[in-house]
Amino acid sequence: MLNLLWEDLDFKRKRITIRQTKAGEARHIPMNDVVRQTLQSLPRMLHNPFVFPGEKGSLRKGIENTEWKRCLQKAGIENFRWHDLRHTFATRLMMKGVAYTW
């Protein structure tokens, strides 16, 4: 997600292309209307191809360094990793009864 580029989003076909997965292959993920509308509403930074830009290009660079830590500190959040968001998302899906395979 952190390396997601605007060119990876196909709003007409309603799908997201993940260029490199853990298996090393590209993967296409369908977008529902909420995801599509949310992504379309995000501002685009001139000369930055990333959907989630950071101060140093990709937000990934900020998370691996100090940008993510600074945001957490400012929000008063301790002992939290970016990857925890994936677990929270999966847990909430399961609580709603949505079947999903990772």
Q: What's the pLDDT tens digit per position in 42-94? A: 888 888 888 887 665 555 554 555 777 888 889 998 888 777 777 777 777 77
- Pairwise pLDDT comparison (48 vs 39), residue with the higher score: 39
> Measuring CA to CA, how many Å separate 68 from each of 31, 73, 88?
26, 9, 18
pLDDT of residue 83: 74
Confidence of residue 8 (pLDDT cuts 50, 70, 90): very high
pLDDT, greater one: 8 or 71: 8
- Answer for the pair 2, 59: CB distance below 8 angstroms, yes or no: yes
Write down the domain spans for the chain.
1-52, 66-102
Residues 6+ apart with CB under 8 A from 22: none
- Global model pTM greater than 0.85: no
Nearest to 89 by CA among 47, 42, 35: 35
Give the ranges where 22-78 is alpha helix by DSSP (H): 33-41, 59-64, 67-75
Is pLDDT above 90 for 15?
yes
Rounded average pLDDT over 20-25: 80
Asked if 79 and 69 touch (Cβ cutoff 8 Å), the reply is: no
Answer yes or no: is pLDDT of 37 > 90: yes
What is the band of 99 on the pLDDT scale with cuts at 50, 70, 90?
Answer: low
